Amino acid sequence: MNKNIFWIASYPKSGNTLVRGILSSIFFTKDGIFSLSKLSNINQFERTDRIKKNKKLFGDDYLNLKNSPVFYKHITKLQTKEALGIDKDFTFLKTHSGLFEIGGNSFTKKENSQGLIYVIRDPRDVCISWSKHLNLSIDKCIDNMTNDLASSEWVEPKEEIFRSENRPMSFLSSWEKHVLSWTSINWEIPIKIIRFEDLISNKKEMIKEIIFFFITNYNFKFENVEDKINNILDTTDFFKLKKEEEEKGFLESTGNNVFFSSGKKEQWKEILTKDQISKIEKKFGSIMKKFQYKLAVEI
């Protein structure tokens, strides 16, 4: 298996799209000017049309992929150059799946992974953003985030390939276990952990860090770096992205819900109840503190 994938991994609604936007501007433009259409350069792995294109890899199991142990027997077959339809030794892929084993088979392996960026966000804000995205109550989203068995369906394109009753699932687990699954690996590959909050409060320095990460670990060469950074800062501004979504739409929005809703940090202070905050912090407190998220009792 070829080592070709660079993963952009995160729990849902944690800033993956912003990081993809920055990377798309760095790698796939000459001037750093971003638009939502540029995100097509860094696609989500969990798309059912990817399975359809590689139907022959699954044999008789193709109609039983809702069964996660069956699906995970084959999942890394979708990560070869041939299955991805690429001829490059380096390709970006977005994922929300946790790095877990199901039935003894892992979501991915070090043998086909070039590296990893993991994007983490305060879970107290994640539940608010996810609630707006899915049009669910905050309590329901907190229940999902604290559920060690939580899963979500693979993305279905406009044409229906799998009905919901037989659509493959991404295993998320709880927010805490998802974070640990990706940030605790020891694969001897370059790994960078990015806090969404740092992207919001100090975007320019974070973009510089990202560029330095790829120069240092992969010897990439970038031209017009300062101009690119300035253009990235301008064109990935949250309110400009929100306006572009309003005017042109965005494929990653769900139903009539907008994707770019707020983009702020520490929304939870004004929105969550004490009981909701307590439930999240009791479940995730130690990991939150590890990644420098202050608990309410400490503020």
pLDDT digits 0-9 by tens, 90-149: 999 999 999 999 999 999 999 999 999 999 999 999 999 999 888 999 999 999 999 999
The pLDDT value given to residue 253: 43
Q: Which two tokens stand for residue 215?
A: 């120069």
- Dmax over CA atoms of the chain, in Å, equals 56
CATH fold for the domain made of 5-298: Rossmann fold (3.40.50)
Tell me which of 180 and 17 has the higher pLDDT.
Answer: 180
Tell me which of 261 and 63 has the higher pLDDT.
Answer: 63
78-93 per-position pLDDT tens digit: 999 999 999 888 999 9
Distance CA 264, CA 9 (A): 20
The pLDDT value given to residue 283: 96
Residue among 77, 139, 63 nearest 105 (CA): 77
Q: Residue ranges of the domains in the chain? A: 5-298
- In one-letter notation, the amino acid at residue 83 is A
The pLDDT value given to residue 277: 97
Query: What rounded mean pLDDT belongs to the chain?
Result: 91
The pLDDT value given to residue 262: 53
Query: Does the pLDDT at position 257 exceed 90?
Result: no
Q: Classify residue 18 by burial, with Cβ atoms within 10 Å: 0-12, 13-18, 19+.
A: buried
The pLDDT value given to residue 67: 97
Q: For the residues 20-27, what does the mean pLDDT come to?
A: 94
Tell me which of 77 and 38 has the higher pLDDT.
Answer: 77
* Residues 65/166, Cβ–Cβ less than 8 Å: yes
* Residues 175/203, Cβ–Cβ less than 8 Å: no
